[in-house]
């Protein structure tokens, strides 16, 4: 096992992790980024298609600026957000994020006069270079900035455990470089988890293979509090076939270069959702769209895995092709974007909940442990917002003058125990045993079946039992077909499988504790949105005996109040 001693370790090379590293470098630090995939080419930042404008950028009016605030609070986060954080984030995105990207050479789509093209509507967004492609190009810039600024990284290296000190504080990580099988024990004065959302916990998912909820599992094992883990977002107009991850998404958002938005039709060909009319302030109207699909499912006019369609056929095809990268998905499957409807289905998308943190500092409930981005339970993410988190966490660490602190001593017993656990997972499949992929697939199918649109207490309790039996199965009989230590993705799957088991269990427990329905979270036994009791953080506290406790904390409403106390779930537009 190699050992290293670092000031700051950042885990994750997406929008949040890369920005945290760039900002720390500016502040005089020399962080190490450990990334399961490649920096700027893994996780979900590469998928960000819309670049939402904030403040008064590019001629955004007062009314539009207010609508943007309303959109992020109500439609994007279903009021589960610290509103002061949003206001600060909006200003930072306007004043720092976009100007820096412009200067770094990211090309925002312009018209023949050289003006940046924005969508038309209450909440405006731009694209680089086409809508649907922005994240890829933005993250390419970040990768180049890493090289320019000499930011150190360990790529294709998965963090598998956190190291803790005698008071429970986080003092480092253990990581596996899977191309070589080499293990690292790294001490650090501050550890930032920026491992993103955890979309890949369900059969249909918009996530990449790294998104197995590792960060949440690592933090929970260090007893960090979790917040709103049950609030899982969905895409509701992905291509039904092939079972999609992303870029096979029919964007429901206001389209750049057009006043129109996509339309959704049920099995009888009846129009049932169009952002432009049904969610005019919902720039990414995913929760509302999902609810509307749910209504069609109840009427027998759609299924969650197909049987309804989405289309751009009412929009001039040259406009869609010019500004929208998603038109290519139609071409790839032999459809004409100007006339065809594509069969659609829902997929797990970003998770609103995650590790509980103070969004003004990014500190978690565990000393030494910070988060940034989609992993946090403070917001639903977005490429600008997660970059803001990277900025906050860097400034918090610098303000604490972490570099002046003594280097923690390596807890050799913990490092050896983790090394032994990892070595133990590199074993052949025992007689009658299972591979990690089998466990992962069963888990994902379970979450699709029982943690889908309609959730019930008996269904969730049954899911909990199955997760626990899968844990026993994995512990007793999970092994690999190939036990070479180099480039062994089966080994990575085995590590992931235990993270997924932990996080599926915590997610179900958290869902059982929220006794209402809100946004994408629907319980048939509590079919109403209850702002009186549940406009609140649902905080899960892992306890050392393997159990959990809960605390419920109301949100302050300095700017926007939910407009009712309790209302039937399907009567709430957001």
Ligand X SMILES: Cc1cc2nc3c(=O)[nH]c(=O)nc-3n(C[C@H](O)[C@H](O)[C@H](O)COP(=O)(O)OP(=O)(O)OC[C@H]3O[C@@H](n4cnc5c(N)ncnc54)[C@H](O)[C@@H]3O)c2cc1C
Applying CB under 6 A, which part among 224-232, 373-381, 395-403, 453-461 lies near ligand X? Answer: 373-381
Place of tokens 């591979």: 435
232 is a site residue for ligand X (CB under 6 A): no
Quote the strand ranges of 363-471, DSSP E: 369-371, 454-455
* Contact pick of 7, 70, 82, 210 for ligand X (by CB under 6 A): 210
530 is a site residue for ligand X (CB under 6 A): no
- Kindly state the smallest distance separating residue 274's Cβ from ligand X, in Å: 19
Question: What's the CA gap between 526 and 515, in Å, rounded?
Answer: 6
Residue closer to ligand X, measured from CB, 238 or 530:
238
Report the run of H or E that residue 418 belongs to, with start and end: helix 412-425
* Contact pick of 7, 8, 10, 14 for ligand X (by CB under 6 A): 14
Look at the alpha carbons of 299, 303, 309, 310 in this order and tell me if their dihedral is positive or negative.
Answer: positive
3-state secondary structure of 562: coil
* Contact pick of 21, 22, 32, 37 for ligand X (by CB under 6 A): 37
Do the beta carbons of residue 435 and residue 478 sit within 8 Å? yes
Residue closer to ligand X, measured from CB, 389 or 516:
389
* Contact pick of 24, 128, 163, 194 for ligand X (by CB under 6 A): 194
> Bridge-partner residues for 163, per DSSP?
172
Give the closest residue to 470 by CA, choosing from 435, 426, 510, 425.
Answer: 435
13 is a site residue for ligand X (CB under 6 A): yes
* Contact pick of 8, 32, 43, 490 for ligand X (by CB under 6 A): 43
106 is a site residue for ligand X (CB under 6 A): no
- Kindly state the smallest distance separating residue 56's Cβ from ligand X, in Å: 19
Place of tokens 């609810």: 291
Residue closer to ligand X, measured from CB, 64 or 158:
158
Question: What's the CA gap between 190 and 169, in Å, rounded?
Answer: 10
* Contact pick of 8, 9, 12, 291 for ligand X (by CB under 6 A): 12
Which 402-421 residues touch ligand X, going by CB under 6 A?
none
Residue closer to ligand X, measured from CB, 9 or 171:
9
* Contact pick of 8, 10, 44, 492 for ligand X (by CB under 6 A): 44
Applying CB under 6 A, which part among 23-31, 43-51, 57-65, 482-490 lies near ligand X? Answer: 43-51
Applying CB under 6 A, which part among 13-21, 302-310, 318-326, 481-489 lies near ligand X? Answer: 13-21
DSSP 138-195: HHHHHHHHHHHTT-EEE-SEEEEEEEE-TTS-EEEEEEEETTTTEEEEEEEEEEEE--
Burial class (CB in 10 A: 0-12, 13-18, 19+), 117: middle
| CB closest to ligand X, residue no | 14
493 is a site residue for ligand X (CB under 6 A): no
- Kindly state the smallest distance separating residue 190's Cβ from ligand X, in Å: 16
- Kindly state the smallest distance separating residue 421's Cβ from ligand X, in Å: 14
Applying CB under 6 A, which part among 48-56, 296-304, 438-446, 456-464 lies near ligand X? Answer: 48-56
Residue closer to ligand X, measured from CB, 208 or 529:
208
Applying CB under 6 A, which part among 41-49, 78-86, 303-311, 398-406 lies near ligand X? Answer: 41-49
Give the closest residue to 260 by CA, choosing from 326, 340, 317.
Answer: 317
381 is a site residue for ligand X (CB under 6 A): yes
Applying CB under 6 A, which part among 47-55, 77-85, 435-443, 506-514 lies near ligand X? Answer: 47-55
Question: What's the CA gap between 446 and 490, in Å, rounded?
Answer: 21
Please tell me the number of Cα atoms within 13 Å of 62 on its side-chain side. 0
Return the structure tokens found at 409.
Answer: 């001593």
42 is a site residue for ligand X (CB under 6 A): yes
Return the structure tokens found at 12.
Answer: 């994750």
Return the structure tokens found at 345.
Answer: 């289905």
- Kindly state the smallest distance separating residue 401's Cβ from ligand X, in Å: 26
Residue closer to ligand X, measured from CB, 53 or 410:
53
DSSP 77-141: TTT-S-HHHHHHHHHHIIIIIHHHHHHTT----B-TTSPBP-B-SSS-EE-SSSBTTHHHHHHHH
Binding mask 333-372 for ligand X (x = CB under 6 A): ----------------xx----------------------
Return the structure tokens found at 544.
Answer: 């050392």
Look at the alpha carbons of 508, 512, 514, 516 in this order and tell me if their dihedral is positive or negative.
Answer: positive
- Kindly state the smallest distance separating residue 315's Cβ from ligand X, in Å: 18
Q: How far apart are the first and last CA of the chain?
A: 51
- Kindly state the smallest distance separating residue 278's Cβ from ligand X, in Å: 19
Q: What is the CA radius of gyration of the chain?
A: 23
- Kindly state the smallest distance separating residue 574's Cβ from ligand X, in Å: 18
16 is a site residue for ligand X (CB under 6 A): yes
DSSP 186-205: EEEEEEEE-----GGGSSSB
Task: Tell me how many residues contact ligand X (CB under 6 A).
Answer: 41
Question: What's the CA gap between 140 and 18, in Å, rounded?
Answer: 11
Residue closer to ligand X, measured from CB, 154 or 460:
154
* Contact pick of 7, 17, 228, 521 for ligand X (by CB under 6 A): 17
200 is a site residue for ligand X (CB under 6 A): no
Report the run of H or E that residue 470 belongs to, with start and end: helix 457-477
* Contact pick of 9, 34, 162, 464 for ligand X (by CB under 6 A): 34
3-state secondary structure of 546: coil
Which 130-189 residues touch ligand X, going by CB under 6 A?
135, 158-159
CA 513 to the chain's CA centroid = 22
48 is a site residue for ligand X (CB under 6 A): yes
Residues that bind ligand X (CB under 6 A): 11-17, 34-37, 42-45, 47-50, 52, 135, 158-159, 194-197, 199, 206, 210, 214, 246, 349-350, 373-374, 381-384, 386
């Amino acid at each position: 096992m190699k050992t290293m001693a670092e000031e700051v370790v950042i885990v994750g090379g997406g929008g949040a992790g890369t920005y945290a590293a760039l900002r720390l470098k500016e502040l005089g630090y020399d962080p190490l980024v450990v990334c399961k995939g490649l920096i700027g080419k893994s996780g979900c930042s590469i998928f960000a298609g819309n670049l939402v404008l904030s403040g008064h950028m590019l001629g955004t009016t007062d009314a539009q600026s207010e609508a943007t605030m309303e959109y992020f609070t109500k439609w994007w986060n279903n009021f589960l957000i610290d509103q002061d954080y949003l206001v600060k984030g909006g200003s930072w995105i306007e004043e720092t994020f976009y100007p820096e990207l412009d200067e770094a050479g990211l090309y925002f789509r312009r018209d023949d006069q050289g003006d940046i093209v924005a969508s038309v509507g209450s909440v405006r967004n731009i694209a680089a270079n086409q809508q649907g492609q922005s994240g890829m190009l933005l993250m390419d810039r970040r990768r180049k900035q890493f090289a320019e600024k000499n930011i150190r990284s360990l790529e294709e290296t998965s963090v598998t455990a956190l190291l803790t000190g005698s008071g429970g504080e986080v003092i480092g990580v253990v990581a596996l470089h899977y191309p070589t099988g080499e293990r690292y024990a790294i001490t650090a004065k501050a550890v930032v988890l920026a491992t993103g959302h955890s979309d890949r916990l369900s059969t249909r998912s918009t996530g990449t293979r790294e998104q197995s909820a590792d960060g949440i599992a690592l933090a929970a094992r260090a007893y960090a509090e979790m917040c709103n883990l049950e609030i899982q977002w969905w895409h509701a107009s992905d291509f039904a076939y092939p079972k999609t991850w992303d870029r096979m998404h029919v964007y429901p958002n206001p389209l750049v270069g057009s006043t129109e938005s996509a339309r959704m039709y049920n099995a009888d060909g009846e129009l049932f959702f169009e952002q432009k009319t049904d969610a005019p302030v919902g720039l990414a109207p995913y929760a509302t769209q999902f609810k509307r699909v749910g209504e069609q499912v109840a009427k027998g006019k759609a299924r969650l895995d197909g049987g309804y369609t989405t289309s751009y056929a009412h929009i001039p095809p040259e406009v869609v092709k010019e500004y929208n990268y998603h038109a290519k998905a139609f071409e790839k499957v032999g459809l004409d974007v100007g006339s065809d409807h594509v069969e659609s289905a829902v997929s797990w998308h970003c998770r609103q909940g995650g590790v509980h943190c103070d969004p003004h500092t990014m500190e978690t409930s565990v000393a030494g442990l910070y988060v940034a981005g989609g992993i946090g339970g403070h917001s639903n993410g977005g490429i600008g917002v997660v970059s803001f988190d990277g900025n906050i966490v860097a400034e918090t660490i610098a303000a604490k003058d972490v570099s002046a602190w003594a280097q923690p001593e390596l807890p050799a017993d913990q490092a050896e125990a983790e090394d032994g656990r990892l070595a133990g997972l590199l074993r052949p499949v025992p007689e009658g045993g299972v591979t990690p992929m089998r466990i992962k697939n069963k888990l994902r199918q379970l979450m699709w079946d029982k943690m889908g649109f309609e959730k019930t207490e008996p269904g969730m309790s049954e899911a909990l039992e199955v997760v626990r039996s899968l844990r026993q199965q994995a512990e007793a009989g999970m092994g690999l077909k190939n036990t070479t230590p180099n480039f062994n993705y089966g080994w990575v799957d085995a590590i992931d499988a235990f993270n997924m088991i932990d996080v599926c269990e915590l997610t179900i427990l958290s869902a059982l504790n929220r006794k209402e329905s809100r946004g994408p979270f629907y319980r048939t036994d509590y079919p109403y949105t209850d702002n009186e009791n549940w406009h609140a953080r649902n905080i899960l506290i892992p306890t050392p005996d393997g159990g959990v406790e809960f605390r419920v904390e109301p949100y302050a409403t300095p700017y926007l109040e939910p407009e009712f106390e309790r209302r039937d779930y399907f009567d709430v537009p957001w």
